[in-house]
Amino acid sequence: MDLREVKVVVAVAEEGGFSAAARRLHVAQSAVSSTVRALEHELGAALFHRTTHRVSLTPAGRAFLPAAGAALRAAEEARAAVDLAQGELHGEITIGVMQGLHGGLAAALADFHREHPGVVVRLRQAPAADIPQALRDGAVDLAVTALDTPVPRGLSTRLLSREEMVLVTAPTPGGLPSEGPVTLAEAAGLPLVGFSPGWAVRHEVDRAFRAADLSPAVAAFLRHLTSSPG
């Protein structure tokens, strides 16, 4: 097998399909399919279950993927070592991010690109609870995320910022004080809009209400909070 074949298999596994992998690699879907079939033939085992609606890893594929990722990272490290010796960086970095990106990330990425234009930076969004495992598996190289638990073993962290959580609500006559902090009991009496399970903000909100022995009424769940002019 060669690194090109390994890269194609990893792309199919990470993107969850042949079409998405082809878009990521900027090749025809037929090329992705033929590459995977050729490698499966060489290995003597199917790496993917293929159905009309989805593609998933077989047991052999799940066993292959960690070693495949390690091989690709080793190749990138070898290339980076040569580039560094020549005074220029090339390669690819995948950054895990949660919803609500750190405000300074965009500027930091822009500065990095100006300094190292040969390095491709990819962002991979995931719930905060899933990011530590993605780091262990090598699916992402580093992450910008909220940590609401002790630092997982084998990972190092650096504090980038702290943010205060606030409650945003329409006017509710008689329901909330006109000024000053809102208590959890007052918030629990409102129909809340919350994040989906697994996201860091949802985890913190649930933990605060549990600690206060309260059960808020959540009217809707969503993955992102957005705003529009006016």
The mean pLDDT value for 86-95 works out to 80
The mean pLDDT value for 140-164 works out to 78
Global pTM? 0.50
Residue with tokens 């159905």, as numbered in its chain: 51
- The matching CATH number, chosen from 1.10.730.10, 1.10.10.10, 3.40.1390.10, 3.40.50.300, for 1-85 is 1.10.10.10
Domain spanning 89-160: which CATH class is it, in words? alpha beta
Instruction: Quote the strand ranges of 40-136, DSSP E.
Output: 48-50, 55-57, 91-97, 119-125
228 pLDDT band, cuts 50/70/90, is very low
Instruction: Quote the strand ranges of the chain, DSSP E.
Output: 48-50, 55-57, 91-97, 119-125, 142-144, 191-195, 217-222
60 pLDDT band, cuts 50/70/90, is very high
Q: What is the pLDDT of residue 58?
A: 93
Residue boundaries of the structural domains of the chain: 1-85, 89-160, 164-230
Lowest mean pLDDT among 2-11, 111-120, 216-225: 216-225
Q: What is the pLDDT of residue 162?
A: 77
Token couple for 40: 């499966």
3-class SS of residue 91: strand
Give percent of the chain with pLDDT exceeding 70. Answer: 86
